[in-house]
């Protein structure tokens, strides 16, 4: 068979059922081969290669399986860079296959030749150029193993055209081992004993729950660990749905726009237990003033994260699905009632100063927070939340609530505007039976607005898009207001009629400008199983509080007026 067909067979062997992408000259043999596999793959034609990568990310995040996208060489390939970098930052398994000129033309600056291996090496777990058709089975098997094992991430395969068209006697392969690559460290049981002793002696423990718990499918193991030792827990943005929103030990979000209680208590606890999180600067603020009083235990699968930002007293390397139960067996039953109750004061302060005004305003413009909570309530807290980036993201993360795991798809480490629409498409395709609600701002929406065409082509795929329109690049404007003397440089936006744009793509829409219209519009949106755009005119100069200014201590929290 041809190398292009061999690629199709190799993808089937890896269990791939969905491919996102965009054709072009250097990858045409692969798309020609795909024509005969339309009954085996759901192929999603996005409107831009960046959209293909973000859609593949959304699919991967809700399924736990690698997202796959196939694009052409040159500008098609370079358009995937943002999505690849985003996937690396957020540990999302991704296999990106790019077309390339034939090997005899490599290095000649041939039409649409770009050195993708060199470009992507810093932002992938592995980047490889297939120049020979005999390498196809080996390279694909290796790519999926690397992308999905250990700490997941993106892999790039650059597929030379000569290898696509050449004949090959194909035999599928499976990769389970690579010399010098150890994706899951061996568990040191003596360290588990030391960590358990530290937890058993702690009077004020605090757990920090990250994306690693979701990646490791360790939600139940986390709960058993927290329950036995009675440990309050807070979460990073990507770790949000690892615990139900109403779980008694769930104390809210960490970081710059996180909840007051967990941020204050970070600098009051005597033991900080980080579980599958990387101590990002948006969580820690000023490292010199971060949890200096506490011992630190760090659970992680990636040794490079240990001591990278925060000095660890005990590092527990391994898969949290295994390490958490092992340490739970060593723990004493504990009660930290007084310590847990001490969060209440800060919860009340935040409720009175921020949350009440965000969720239950009595007059004035519509607040982003009230829109988010109304949609969350209307979905009975069972929907998948997808966000773009900016104030819409922070409002959605703060006020959307969850009962189910794998319910948050957002761009964390990279903070990629334009992530929302394509990621929501991928999430809906990956979880077709679940409601997918996307919150985005007017800025991010317009960065990938062309992906409404993908929704159209996918038979009005039932993504619910809630556009929180404030006619500003809201988060940048907030920083300008607080730290740059209200000099609103390049943040006011002249916007189109978003409902007319939706109409052009055959997508139903509604525009809400008054609070009393909101409930009915949300009900209408959710009653339709097809795509829907709900445009809500929100407070133009609204602020997202609490806020810890960048580089300040986690206890230096602004609560607004």
478 is an active site residue: no
121 is an active site residue: no
Q: Determine the average pLDDT of the residues in 93-118.
A: 97
What distances in angstroms separate CA 511 from CA 95, 125, 359, 536, one per listed residue?
38, 44, 20, 6
Q: Tell me the residue range of the domain where 493 lies.
A: 366-537
Percent of the chain exceeding pLDDT 70 equals 100
Question: Same structural domain for residues 416 and 533?
Answer: yes
9 is an active site residue: no
Question: Same structural domain for residues 209 and 274?
Answer: yes
Query: Which one of 14, 49, 305, 451 is the catalytic residue?
Result: 49
Question: Same structural domain for residues 373 and 236?
Answer: no
Count how many domains the chain has: 3
pLDDT tens digits, 50-70:
999 999 999 999 999 999 999
Query: Which one of 111, 182, 483, 484 is the catalytic residue?
Result: 111
Query: Which one of 277, 475, 525, 547 is the catalytic residue?
Result: 475
Question: What are 186's two structure tokens?
Answer: 């061996």
pLDDT at position 127: 98
Question: Same structural domain for residues 336 and 480?
Answer: no
Query: Which one of 40, 112, 134, 481 is the catalytic residue?
Result: 112
Cβ atoms of residues 136 and 168 within 8 Å: yes
How does residue 457 score in pLDDT terms, banded at 50, 70 and 90?
very high
Q: Which of 274, 210, 134 is nearest to 412 (CA)?
A: 210
Question: Same structural domain for residues 442 and 396?
Answer: yes
How does residue 561 score in pLDDT terms, banded at 50, 70 and 90?
confident
What distances in angstroms separate CA 388 from CA 372, 488, 520, one per listed residue?
13, 22, 24
In 59-211, DSSP assigns E strands to 67-71, 94-100, 126-130, 154-160, 205-209
pTM tops 0.85 = yes
Residue 8 located in a structural domain: yes
Residue 360 located in a structural domain: no
Is residue 42's pLDDT more than 90?
Answer: yes
Question: Same structural domain for residues 264 and 381?
Answer: no
DSSP calls for 395-445: HHHHH---SSSS-EE---SS--TT-HHHHHHHHHHHSTTS-EEEEEEHHHH
What distances in angstroms separate CA 333 from CA 34, 197, 225, 228, 230, one per listed residue?
57, 13, 10, 5, 8
Question: Same structural domain for residues 139 and 220?
Answer: no
Q: Which of 167, 155, 158, 136 is nearest to 8 (CA)?
A: 136
Question: Same structural domain for residues 78 and 122?
Answer: yes
Query: Which one of 8, 20, 89, 161 is the catalytic residue?
Result: 161
1 is an active site residue: no
Question: What is the average pLDDT value for the chain, to the nearest integer?
Answer: 97
Q: Determine the average pLDDT of the residues in 134-138.
A: 98
Task: Specify the DSSP class assigned to residue 152.
Answer: -
Question: What are 150's two structure tokens?
Answer: 């250990």
253 is an active site residue: no
């Amino acid at each position: 068979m041809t190398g292009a067909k061999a690629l199709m067979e190799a993808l089937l062997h890896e269990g791939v059922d969905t491919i996102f992408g965009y054709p072009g000259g250097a990858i045409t043999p692969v798309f020609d081969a795909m024509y005969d596999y339309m009954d085996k793959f759901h192929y999603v034609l996005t409107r831009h290669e960046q959209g293909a990568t973000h859609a593949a990310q959304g699919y991967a995040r809700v399924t736990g399986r690698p997202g796959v996208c196939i694009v052409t060489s040159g500008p098609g390939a370079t358009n995937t860079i943002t999505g690849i970098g985003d996937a690396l930052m957020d540990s999302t398994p991704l296999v990106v296959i790019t077309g390339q000129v034939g090997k005899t033309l490599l290095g000649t600056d041939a039409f649409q030749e770009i050195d993708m291996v060199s470009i992507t090496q810093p932002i992938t777990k592995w980047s490889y150029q297939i120049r020979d058709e005999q390498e196809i089975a080996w390279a694909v098997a290796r790519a999926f193993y690397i992308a999905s094992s250990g700490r997941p991430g993106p892999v790039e395969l650059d597929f030379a055209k000569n290898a696509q068209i050449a004949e090959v006697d194909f035999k599928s392969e499976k990769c389970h081992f690579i010399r010098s690559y150890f994706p899951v460290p061996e568990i040191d049981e003596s360290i588990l004993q030391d960590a358990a002793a530290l937890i058993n002696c702690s009077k004020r423990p605090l757990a920090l729950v990250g994306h690693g718990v979701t990646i490791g499918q360790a939600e139940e193991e986390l709960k058993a660990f927290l329950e036995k030792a009675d440990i309050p827990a807070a979460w990073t943005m990507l770790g949000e749905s690892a615990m139900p929103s109403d779980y008694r030990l769930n104390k809210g979000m960490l970081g710059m726009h996180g909840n007051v209680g967990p941020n204050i208590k970070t600098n009051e606890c005597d033991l900080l237990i980080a579980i599958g999180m990387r101590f990002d600067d948006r969580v820690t603020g000023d490292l010199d003033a971060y949890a200096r009083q506490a011992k630190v235990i760090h659970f992680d699968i990636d040794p490079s994260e240990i001591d990278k930002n925060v000095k660890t007293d005990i590092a527990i390397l391994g898969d949290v699905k295994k390490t958490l139960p092992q340490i739970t067996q060593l723990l004493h039953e504990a009660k930290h009632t007084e310590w847990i109750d001490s969060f209440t004061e800060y919860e009340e302060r935040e409720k009175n100063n921020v949350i009440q005004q965000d969720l239950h305003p009595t007059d004035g413009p519509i607040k982003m927070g009230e829109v988010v909570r109304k949609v969350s309530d209307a979905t009975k807290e069972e929907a998948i939340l997808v966000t773009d980036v900016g104030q819409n993201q922070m409002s959605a993360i703060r006020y959307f609530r969850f009962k189910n795991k794998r319910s948050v798809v957002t761009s964390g480490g990279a903070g990629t505007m334009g992530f929302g629409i394509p990621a929501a498409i991928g999430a809906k395709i990956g979880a077709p039976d679940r409601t997918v609600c996307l919150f985005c701002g007017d800025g991010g929406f317009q960065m990938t607005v062309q992906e409404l065409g993908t929704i159209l082509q996918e038979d009005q795929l039932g993504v619910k898009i809630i556009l929180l329109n404030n006619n500003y690049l809201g988060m940048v404007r907030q920083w300008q207001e607080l730290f740059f003397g209200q000099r609103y440089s390049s943040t006011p936006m002249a916007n189109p009629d978003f409902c007319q744009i939706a109409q052009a793509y055959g997508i139903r829409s509604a525009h809400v400008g008054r609070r009393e219209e909101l409930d009915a519009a949300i009900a209408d949106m959710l009653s339709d199983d097809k795509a829907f755009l709900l445009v809500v005119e929100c407070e133009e100069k609204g602020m997202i509080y609490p806020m810890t200014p960048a580089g300040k201590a986690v206890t230096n929290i602004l609560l607004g007026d």
